[in-house]
A and B are shown apart, each in its own frame.
Chain A
Amino acid sequence: AQKVTQAQTEISVVEKEDVTLDCVYETRDTTYYLFWYKQPPSGELVFLIRRNSFDEQNEISGRYSWNFQKSTSSFNFTITASQVVDSAVYFCALIDIFGKGTRLHILP
């Protein structure tokens, strides 16, 4: 069975701090895709990144970066120099199976 675990239910950091959101997944498939989505307070779900199982290179997009490690079945998400606008619930997903999400509070 496929499973996604986001152990951090809620995180609070002060603005400009760096924060890492953890994601651990389980699958028996050799080919799979992982995703991160953001759900701001307005409620919509926004796609952030997709990563396939054959590409273990880290990805950076502005203040966002992702670390995929197949050996530990993890796909962690780091926000550098956090901003209040980063406050949201973040979901990690393995294809169409979502984790329970991590609620991130960025305090001014």
Chain B
Amino acid sequence: NAGVTQTPKFRVLKTGQSMTLLCAQDMNHEYMYWYRQDPGMGLRLIHYSVGEGTTAKGEVPDGYNVSRLKKQNFLLGLESAAPSQTSVYFCASSYSRLNTEAFFGQGTRLTVV
């Protein structure tokens, strides 16, 4: 049982480079989320998806894009990375948005230099 898997686990980017973080879940969950975790800031929601082909903005969406072409995958893209995007990124999935717990991936530590 893999649960939620994030790829890659670590990455260093130069300012202006682009990259995509991949999240895959094998629990047939409808809902998927991308969060960033920064010291003292807790977890902040970037984007989320309520099903295949649908996405919505969270609290801090600027500088990020997402896609959910397949139910099991949720991609987070950085088109032009900035040092302010240095963070730990967590993907999560849940059966429903309101009343079930989220299952989290192990995180991706991204450093933008």
Contact = CB atoms under 8 A, between A and B. Distances in A.
Interface of A: 6, 9, 31-33, 35, 43-45, 47, 50, 52, 91, 93, 95-101
Interface of B: 33, 35, 40-45, 48, 58-59, 88, 90, 92, 97-104, 106-107
Given A43-B106, A44-B107, A100 B99 contact: no
Given A31-B98, A47-B103, A101-B42, 8 more contacts: A43-B88, A43-B106, A47-B102, A91-B43, A96-B33, A96-B97, A98-B42, A100-B42
Nearest to B94: A96
Contact of B99 (A6, A50, A91, A97): A50
A100 B40 contact: yes
Contacts of B59: 97
B40 A9 contact: yes
Contacts of B42: 6, 91, 98-101
Contacts of A99: 42
A52 B58 CA distance: 22
Given A96-B33, A99-B42, A100-B42, A45 B90 contact: yes
Contact of A47 (B90, B97, B101, B106): B101
Given A33-B99, A35-B101, A100 B41 contact: yes
Contacts of B43: 45, 91, 93, 98, 101
A70 B90 CA distance: 30
